[in-house]
Every structure is written in C-alpha cells, then in structure tokens.
A = this chain, B = another copy of it.
Amino acid sequence: MSFTYHRDVLPNGLRVVTVETPHLHTALLAVYVRTGSRHESVLSNGVSHFLEHLFFRGSEGWPDTVRMNSAVEEVGGNLNGVTTRDHGYYYTPLHPAHLDVGLAILGDMLTRPRLTDMEVERSIILEEMLDEVDEKGRDIDIDNLSKRLLFPDHPLSFKIAGTRESVSALTHAQVLEHFARHYVTGNLVVSAAGRVKHDEVLALVERHFARLPQGPESLDIAPPPTPRGPRLHVVTHDEAQTEFRLSFRTVPEHHPDWPALQLLRRFLDDGLSSRLPFEIVEKRGLAYSVHASLEAFHDAGIFEIEAASAPERASLVVGEMFRVLGELAQSPVAEEELARAKRRHRMLLEFSQDSPGELSGWFAGTELFRRPESFGLRADLVDSASATQVRDVARRYFARDNLTVVAVGQRKGIKALEKVVETAEGLPSAT
C-alpha cells in the first residue's frame, strides 16, 4: 500500500490519526466527534446539528463567517460540517503546504467558538428541514420514517436536525451545555490524510487543540430489538413515483456476521450484473434504479434495500425483491459469483489509497467507536466467508419477521403493496 497509518494519543487523551499518501497532491483535515441526535432528548433534539451550524459563524481568532471561511478558502479549502445520528465531523480539503492554517482554524473553531447569530441560524435550519417534509409539513423522508419504525422510543429514531418544535425552542444555554459536554478530548479524533507528514501534523494538533477540555466519550443507550415484522408504513404524497425502502435489522461492523453481510450487499447491488439491478431493472424493466446498502452504528446494523417505481408497479418490485432475497437465503451462491465479489472488495480497497476522504473515514471515523482494522485484515475476513456461511447469514437476517417496509407515494397501488408485504412470500421464516 502507498500509505502509512499512524495513531497517536496525546497526554490529554485526544486521539490523532495521520494517513500519509505522499503520492497525492492534496491534504484532507477532519475532526470527528462522537455526538449526534442519539445523544439528545426529545426536548434537545437537533442541538448537535444546530451547534455544527453555529461553529461556522466564527471563533475568537476568526470572529465571523467571512473571516473564518475565507481563510480556509484562501488555501484551497472548503470548510464543511456533517451531523449524523451517532457522530459528526468537520473537514476541509486544502493545499498540503498550508496544514498550519487549516489546523489552526479547526482548533480555534472547536475550542473557542463564538456561537452567535443563533436566530439567523435557526431560520436557516428551519429552511433546511423543509427538504424532508411535504407542503403540509408532514415527514416524507424515507430514512427518517424507517429509523422511527426500527428504533421506537429510542434516540436513534430521532430526526438528525430535530423537529420544527424542538428547533424553534432550543436555547443558547442548551447549545452551550451540549458543547461543554461533548467537545472534550476523549470524544474527538483529529485527522490528517493525503500529502501530510506525521510529525508536522502531531505538532500542529498539540498546539491548536491544547485548549480542548479533558472529558470522556459520549455514552450510548443500546437500542431495543425492532418490533416483529412484517410491518408496512405508508405515507401518501402525490408524486409521479412511489418510493420505498425495505429494512432488516442486523449487527454492527465488528460482529462475525458482518463480512457475509458485506458480500450479500455486493451480490445484490454492485453493478449492472448484480442481482437486484439485473432482475428488477434490466430483465423486467420494473424500475429505473434499485439500491442495497449497509448502515451500521456501533451497537446495531441495518440492511437497507430501496427503489422508486411507478405507483402501480411498487408491489411488483417489492415482490421481486423478496424473491431475490429468498434465493440467497435458500441456496449458496455459485463459487464464481462469490469469487468475483471478493476480488472486487479487494480491488476497491486498493483504489481507496488514492482517496484521502476514504482513508480518513476508515481510520479516523471508525476510531471514534473502535480500533479500525487494516485493509489487509478486512479483506482477509471477507475472503474467508464461504458460500454456505453467506447463505446462513442471509437466512438469519432476511427473515419475514425481521422485515420493515416504508413507502411514500400516491394512494394508487398501496392495497397491492400491503398484500405483498403481509405475506412476504419468498422470505424465510425466523429460524
């Protein structure tokens, strides 16, 4: 591999991850923090995301939006922030000659933010939230709807940005409290990837994050089991296409079943020749696109399959998905298909060494929750899964009573969809 991975822990507990790729011409700085909507209450829902927005309004050293952002943009960067359900991150690409500028600003922003202009920012966030609702303000975001069904009465069911009510009521005191609790040494990982030098990065992080208060990582409450399926939740909304998602509760990435789940994802959706695009799009022309993905928290996982189709075809597409999943649960895949998926897994890992973003996500993002494996070990784990193991894992998770379906679309076609989900023909029963 053309990169070198370093992990350091400063005396104050702050973790620093450096991935050197001297062959590339950019650098990527990122700071990961273990705080998101799952670390909130019904009343404070949205505070992690609100805080993320406020950081960009300036710090003691760069006291407003323009000064802070133009200083980063000046060196080829673009300061960005993302909040998810279980963590957040701040990042910028930049010219490798100017790591000092980038780390100075990230350090100041996260240790001495001004946290001003809360009312303008509230208005921006309320505007941003319109993306997930219909013209009456009802939620039509398939991801939000799914998570609510999968994790009832648990913070993982919260919307990341919060609700209209919670965001409207958030106070400056709540924001300050959240900042004080979560932006602490034990809860952050600082990372530099690309054409960077380990020694330089370490010295700069020590200098610019020295003010970060010591404190422990955020605690998570483990989610309860998902209610027994099959379950279908429908939200009617007038669009040309009906959108739907199947979710199966699985396990987190460190679980021994994970490599087989990764392979199942590839059999289902990894190019036009993989099973879902081939059966549903290419062969039957029922939909234009279909996707399978794995989502993982450190204490839960989900296998997600989604598509959009003309309303009258939704039940056909979902029925076909059940048939395809059922086949994987019934008979082991051919050795050729298995070998291809493993080879692709290895090649795509190899390609990642040209991507500071992927390297940073792998080594520093994972570090928030557990020590990341090397690419080699991960490839070996996937390579060691046999066709029968993969079939057994498919049988375990693609079970009828592990099925949750969400659909957003016209009323047309919903009756047929209800019937198909109710019987879930093709899917195995729980073992």
Decide: A25 near B74, CB < 8 A? Known: A120-B285, A238-B135, A285-B124.
Answer: no
Q: Is A130 an interface residue (CB 8 A)?
A: yes
Q: Which of A6-14, A182-190, A227-235, A268-276 contacts B (4 or more CB under 8 A)?
A: A268-276
Q: Is the CB of B133 within 8 A of A240?
A: yes
A350-388 toward B: CB 8 Å interface, digit per residue (1/0)?
Answer: 110110000000000000000000000000000000000
User: Chain B residues with Cβ under 8 A from A422's Cβ?
Assistant: none
Q: Is the CB of B127 within 8 A of A310?
A: yes
User: Chain B residues with Cβ under 8 A from A131's Cβ?
Assistant: 240-241, 288
A261-291 toward B: CB 8 Å interface, digit per residue (1/0)?
Answer: 0000000001111100010011111111000
Q: Is A123 an interface residue (CB 8 A)?
A: yes
Q: Is the CB of B127 within 8 A of A272?
A: no
User: Chain B residues with Cβ under 8 A from A79's Cβ?
Assistant: 271-272
Q: How far is the CB of A152 from chain B (nearest CB, A)?
A: 26
Q: How far is the CB of A80 from chain B (nearest CB, A)?
A: 9
Q: Is the CB of A74 within 8 A of B134?
A: no
Closest to A137 in B: B240
Closest to A66 in B: B273
User: Chain B residues with Cβ under 8 A from A350's Cβ?
Assistant: 25, 95
Q: How far is the CB of A309 from chain B (nearest CB, A)?
A: 7
List residues 116-141 of chain A with CB under 8 A from any CB of chain B.
119-124, 127-128, 130-131, 133-135, 137
Q: Is A70 an interface residue (CB 8 A)?
A: yes
Q: Is the CB of A239 within 8 A of B70?
A: no
**Most B CB atoms within 10 A — which of A65, A127, A288, A309?**
A127
User: Chain B residues with Cβ under 8 A from A254's Cβ?
Assistant: none
Q: Is A410 an interface residue (CB 8 A)?
A: yes
A203-243 toward B: CB 8 Å interface, digit per residue (1/0)?
Answer: 00000000000000000000000000000000000111100
Q: Is A24 an interface residue (CB 8 A)?
A: yes
Q: Is the CB of A130 within 8 A of B25?
A: no
Q: How far is the CB of A10 from chain B (nearest CB, A)?
A: 30
A1-22 toward B: CB 8 Å interface, digit per residue (1/0)?
Answer: 0100000000000000000000
How many identical subunits does the complex contain?
2
| Contact size range, A | 35 or more
| A353, B120: Cα distance in complex, Å | 39
Q: How far is the CB of A135 from chain B (nearest CB, A)?
A: 4
| A324, B340: Cα distance in complex, Å | 54
**Most B CB atoms within 10 A — which of A23, A26, A272?**
A272
List residues 188-205 of chain A with CB under 8 A from any CB of chain B.
none
Q: Is the CB of A272 within 8 A of B65?
A: yes
Q: Is the CB of B240 within 8 A of A130?
A: yes
User: Chain B residues with Cβ under 8 A from A278's Cβ?
Assistant: 65-66
Q: Is A69 an interface residue (CB 8 A)?
A: yes
User: Chain B residues with Cβ under 8 A from A238's Cβ?
Assistant: 134-135, 238
Q: Which of A39-47, A167-175, A341-349, A397-405 contacts B (4 or more CB under 8 A)?
A: A341-349
14 contacts between A and B (CB under 8 A): A24-B354, A69-B272, A72-B271, A73-B274, A78-B272, A123-B285, A124-B287, A127-B241, A127-B288, A130-B310, A131-B288, A133-B240, A134-B239, A137-B240
Residues of chain A touching chain B, judged by Cβ–Cβ distance below 8 Å, are: 2, 23-26, 56-57, 65-66, 68-70, 72-79, 93, 95, 119-124, 127-128, 130-131, 133-135, 137, 238-241, 270-274, 278, 281-288, 309-310, 313, 340, 343-344, 347-348, 350-351, 353-354, 410
